[in-house]
Amino acid sequence: MGPVSLLLPYQKLSNWKGDLAKMTHLQAGLSPETIEKARLELNENPDVLHQDIQQVRDMIITRPDIGFLRTDDAFILRFLRARKFHQADAFRLLAQYFQYRQLNLDMFKNFKADDPGIKRALIDGFPGVLENRDHYGRKILLLFAANWDQSRNSFTDILRAILLSLEVLIEDPELQINGFILIIDWSNFSFKQASKLTPSILKLAIEGLQDSFPARFGGVHFVNQPWYIHALYTLIKPFLKDKTRKRIFLHGNNLNSLHQLIHPEFLPSEFGGTLPPYDMGTWARTLLGPDYSDENDYTHTSYNAMHVKHTSSNLERECSPKPMKRSQSVVEAGTLKHEEKGENENTQPLLALD
């Protein structure tokens, strides 16, 4: 056996170590269980990871109308994971991600946590982010809808705060694979507040979250929703993909159905869980750090209530949402809470409900 043939096994071993190093770099921080989950559920194959990424990158030339501002391996990989390694679908999502930002330039100016509009939304709990993940490794996001003070936060700024939060969270490769859960508590969300949810801004949110962001949402859960949220959902259904519609769950006041999908040990007490009540400032403090402050507009004296600062005139009081209770999880099944007197008198849904 010649010297060249003796070197071949070592060359193969060296090449294998090089490939392993590349794989380790792209899958750094993943547990063995998550790597296996990515293989089984997302068709992720470490042996061809770089080829998959490059094939998506090669498609960029087909869309000269879009400025692809980031095209590194780790960035493209999250789009492949979001589309189960279907390369054409992953590229389409990547293109929509940057196109959405091009079409909505004002939303992404000063797109950082200390932007005044984003900061206010974060401080007011949009979104809430639970520290621990659920039994599937998914991150749980919370929205307490009644906390939307429309004199303080625009819907666009709340959407910006949610998108920025997702940008931060999606950097975690575990969450790229395991995904997210969103729970929206509609307790005390008034008809007046709901009337501000116009089709145009809801479409903006759907395009930003469903069509243009590389996140896997395992479920969107509505809790304590009144009839007009049912009606609103009927209006937006045509904009939702079939897969999205199948992952929206309308629980009403039935927390048992929520617990069948998300175990109580992963939920705060507002949702009948065993965890302490959610601290509305938790995620804001994480993103803002030393810049975090309540700005003296809201007093976080209780986890169960967030009180709006008193306004100086009766007109302002009437136009602003009432003091916002965090949850109505103790409401008896079948009862719908209406914020304003008279809303439950002689009112019928305007649309047929599912």
Cβ atoms of 182 and 217 closer than 8 Å? yes
CATH topology of domain 25-106: Helicase, Ruva Protein; domain 3 (1.10.8)
Residue, of 49 and 320, whose pLDDT is higher: 49
Task: Give percent of the chain above pLDDT 70.
Answer: 76
The answer regarding whether domain 111-292 maps to CATH 3.40.718.10 reads no
Task: Give percent of the chain above pLDDT 90.
Answer: 72
* Residue type present at position 319: C
At residue 24, the pLDDT reads 54
At residue 27, the pLDDT reads 84
String of DSSP letters for 56-68: HHHGGGG-TTS--
Pairing of strands 180-185, 298-299: unpaired
Question: Is pLDDT of 237 > 80?
Answer: yes
Sign of the dihedral defined by the CA atoms of residues 220, 222, 228, 231, in that order: positive
Buried (b) or exposed (e) across 95-109, using 16+ Cβ within 10 A? bbbbbbbeebeebee
String of DSSP letters for 274-336: SBPPP-TTHHHHHHHGGG---TTTEE---SSEEEEPPPSSHHHHHHSPPPEES--TTSPTT--
| Euclidean distance between CA atoms 10 and 230, whole angstroms | 65
The arrangement of strands across the sheet holding 305-308 comes to 298-299, 305-308, 324-325
At residue 1, the pLDDT reads 52
Most confident of 10-14, 51-55, 234-238, 348-352: 51-55
Domain boundaries, the chain: 25-106, 111-292
At residue 211, the pLDDT reads 93
Question: Is pLDDT of 327 > 50?
Answer: no
pLDDT digits (tens, 9 = 90+) for 63-101: 999 999 999 999 999 999 999 999 999 999 999 999 999
At residue 25, the pLDDT reads 80
| Euclidean distance between CA atoms 195 and 211, whole angstroms | 25
Question: Is pLDDT of 22 > 60?
Answer: no
The arrangement of strands across the sheet holding 217-223 comes to 128-129, 139-144, 180-185, 217-223, 248-252
At residue 183, the pLDDT reads 98
Question: Is pLDDT of 305 > 90?
Answer: no
pLDDT digits (tens, 9 = 90+) for 109-146: 999 999 999 999 999 999 999 999 999 999 999 999 99
